Amino acid sequence: MNAAPRESFDDVLLLLGRLNYVWSNTESLLIHLIAGIAGTSKDTALVIYLTLNTTRARADLVERLVKMEGRDPVERDRVLAAVGQLTRLSALRNQYNHCIYAFDPSGGNARTIQMRISDRKTDIRIGRVNAIDREAMDSIRHCIDELAQLNRSVWALIGDCGYPA
């Protein structure tokens, strides 16, 4: 019986660093969307962006602004699709940013222990454990690729709509 190949924790850390870089770079494009949709300067949009301290709050703002009456439907749909994809991709990013990392003393794959309480009807669950194995690494790589493509798409949207760049 062959064990699955062990993922190097250094490789895991490098990949998570890349995920965080691509995430931050892409999420910051919401500044340009806020500026364009709200019809304000990039500096004002930056203050708004920094005041809203979660991705969810920033995404909600952009979605609500673009849904306001008088918005071009094509522009609205493109913005909603981009923000929807960013929101969907945030789940994996959050999984790796809101956890504790555990190491196998016998040399196996590292694991994540989620820092979340799940309220159930009659109890709570805490500390869900997930292995950082080849499948997890592939999932992170796929998320990075999707974020990079989303970044390019949002830049195209910013240009097409004439938002402040």
Backbone phi, then psi, for 133, in 5-degree steps? -105, -170
| Nearest by Cα to 161 from 72, 45, 28 | 72
Q: Given a cut of 50, is residue 7 above it in pLDDT?
A: yes
3-state secondary structure 3-40: CCCCCCHHHHHHHHHHHHHHHHHHHCCHHHHHHHHHCC
Q: Given a cut of 90, is residue 83 above it in pLDDT?
A: yes
Ranges of H-type helices in the chain: 9-27, 30-38, 42-51, 55-66, 73-97, 134-161
* pLDDT per position as a tens digit, 141-152: 999 999 999 999
Q: Given a cut of 70, is residue 6 above it in pLDDT?
A: no
Over residues 134-141, the mean pLDDT reads 95
pLDDT at position 115 is 84
* pLDDT per position as a tens digit, 21-61: 999 999 999 999 999 999 999 999 999 999 999 999 999 99
